[in-house]
Amino acid sequence: MILCAGECLIDMLPRTTTDGSAAYQPFVGGSVFNTSNAIGRLGQRVGFFSGISTDFFGEMLMDTLRASSVDTRFAARADRPTTLAFVRLVDGQASYLFYDENSAGRMLTERDIPKITDEIDTLFFGCISLAVEPCAATYETLMMREGGSRITMIDPNIRAGFIQDETTYRARLSRMIEAADIVKVSDEDLIWLMGNGDLAEKAEAMRATGPSVVFVTEGARGVTAYSAHGAQFVPAVKVDVVDTVGAGDTFGGGLLTGLREAGVVTKDAVRKVTADQLEAGMSLGARAAAITVSRAGANPPSRDEL
């Protein structure tokens, strides 16, 4: 089983009413939440660990997880508000404004970490859950405590506007990236982390710190894997884009699913991953992400839709 550990929230997406007024419509979301739903809908066993509110937004989140075949027994329910992310779309590209103070997700502590049984062989982390306290320290503790015997993957999915203490955040990401088996970053993430320059050189420099594989996504162009086999590119699937909300999250879920289906289910298997296995993971991720961007909001596809 894969355990996805990180934020869940409500995306408030811009809409226009029948009389032409501007409005916002709530959609379930959160990067790690989206990834867990993508994995579940693609047919892999997956659980989700986060702080989830007992308010009606929290119930929306729980209902979606269950409908996506995600195991919810790891969730820490709390009588605190749900994080809200107001989204602005410009030419299909999303920017975010977060309301997160005292939220159920943010206030997650080490006491909330569930028992990690042998059925869990992979841990996935990422995004805004690693940028604020105390939840960020909680997720890092989980990774460092359990990652020695399980595959770990991190997708920083950096939201610069959400970062309150950049020095602490960068230090945490560095530690987690060094400890991870698999890293997935966008080209923008890679530049933010490693500075301007040749993407391939930056990706290889990141891989040299510890990960076995670094995947770099470049939006509509596609994704490149950097591993012991060198650089390996898979183009994006061309579709008419409605919006890009959840695209990278869906890709990450498809990537993990494809790797598992190709036999990459242990740390040793990641270290010895083949070019064919990398191709299988990236191709499934690209196909799944193409469906997500072709419709509104973060709505990963089911296996039947592929």
pLDDT of amino acid 291: 95
Give the residues of the chain that fall short of pLDDT 50: none
In this predicted structure, what is the pLDDT of residue 95? 78
Which DSSP state fits 112? G
The two most distant CA atoms of the chain are separated, in Å, by: 59
The pTM for the full model equals 0.94
- The reported pLDDT for the residue numbered 161 is 81
Residue 63: give its domain's CATH number: 3.40.1190.20
Task: Classify the C-alpha dihedral 37-38-42-44 as positive or negative.
Answer: negative
CB count within 10 Å of CB 257 equals 25
Of 88, 92, 77, nearest in space to 8 by CA: 77
pLDDT tens digits for range 149-161 = 999 999 999 988 8
pLDDT digits (tens, 9 = 90+) for 114-169: 999 999 999 999 999 999 999 999 999 999 999 999 999 999 999 888 898 999 99
Contact 140, 132 (CB under 8 A): no
The mean pLDDT of the chain is: 95
Q: Supply the pLDDT for residue 223.
A: 98
Domain extent, residue 65, equals 2-305
Amino acid 296: pLDDT = 78
pLDDT of residue 119: 96
Q: Number of structural domains, the chain?
A: 1
Contact 155, 126 (CB under 8 A): yes
Q: What is the pLDDT of residues 230-254, one digit of tens each?
A: 999 999 999 998 888 889 999 999 9
Amino acid letter, 11 = D
pLDDT for residue 92: 63
